[in-house]
């Protein structure tokens, strides 16, 4: 996914309650949309967890606001933006970060069995990361779109996520149809 597409999706998801500079920093520090979302959610949780400083009653010095537009950031003209250091990948590809049955599923796929994995969990819990890890481990550089399916795919329009709650039934039918077609065509693994 292109940087501007990720920025647009993240702004749509987080823009109402998060500063644009934080979203832009997430895009610059992470390679894919899932990592950006995890970065922003963890960063937001840290901010909420920090205790608020108590007031000493002193009068604060007012500082005129500076321009925080993204175009200035890209041009390098606004040096107040800081790029956060790249965090090491918490998963790191180690087998102990995967569920206990991960190796068994990889082995079944390696033996040529047709496998379909159904995943459930809250947003940001790592379902997409785990699905991509399974494809990488078993097929190498394969196109995830042929193996990983979710109802969210229905809401992606020209690379931008457009959530429409009243279309959720359509999204599930769309997803079910895509999965059925791939299964009939013999694709494996399929992760839903």
Q: For 113-150, how does the pLDDT look when each residue is reduced to its tens digit (9 = 90+)?
A: 999 999 998 888 889 899 999 999 999 888 889 999 99
- pLDDT at position 140 is 86
Look at residue 78 in the predicted model and tell me its pLDDT: 44
DSSP helix/strand/coil, 172: helix
Average pLDDT, the chain: 77
pLDDT for residue 81: 45
Tokens 């790592």 identify what position?
126
| Domain ranges (residues) in the chain | 3-51+67-75, 97-191
Share of the chain above pLDDT 70, in %: 70
**In contact, 102 and 95? CB cutoff 8 Å:** yes
Per-residue pLDDT for 91 more than 50?
A: no
Q: Give the torsion sign (CA, 133, 138, 139, 140).
A: positive
């Amino acid at each position: 996914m292109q940087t501007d597409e990720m920025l647009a999706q993240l702004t749509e998801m987080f823009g109402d309650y998060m500063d644009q500079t934080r979203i832009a920093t997430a895009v610059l520090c992470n390679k894919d949309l899932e990592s950006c979302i995890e970065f922003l959610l963890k960063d937001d949780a840290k901010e909420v967890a920090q205790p608020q400083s108590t007031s000493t009653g002193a009068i604060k010095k007012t500082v005129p606001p500076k321009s925080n537009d993204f175009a200035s950031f890209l041009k390098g003209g606004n040096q107040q933006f800081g790029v956060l250091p790249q965090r090491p990948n918490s998963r790191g590809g180690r087998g102990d970060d995967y569920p206990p049955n991960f190796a068994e599923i990889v082995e079944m796929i390696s033996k040529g069995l047709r496998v379909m994995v159904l995943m459930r969990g809250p947003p940001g819990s790592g379902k997409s990361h785990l699905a991509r890890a399974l494809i990488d481990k078993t097929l190498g550089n394969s196109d995830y779109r042929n193996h990983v399916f979710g109802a969210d795919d229905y809401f992606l329009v020209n690379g931008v996520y457009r959530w429409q709650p009243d279309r959720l039934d359509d999204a599930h039918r769309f997803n079910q149809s895509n999965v059925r077609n791939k299964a009939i065509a013999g694709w494996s693994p399929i992760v839903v």
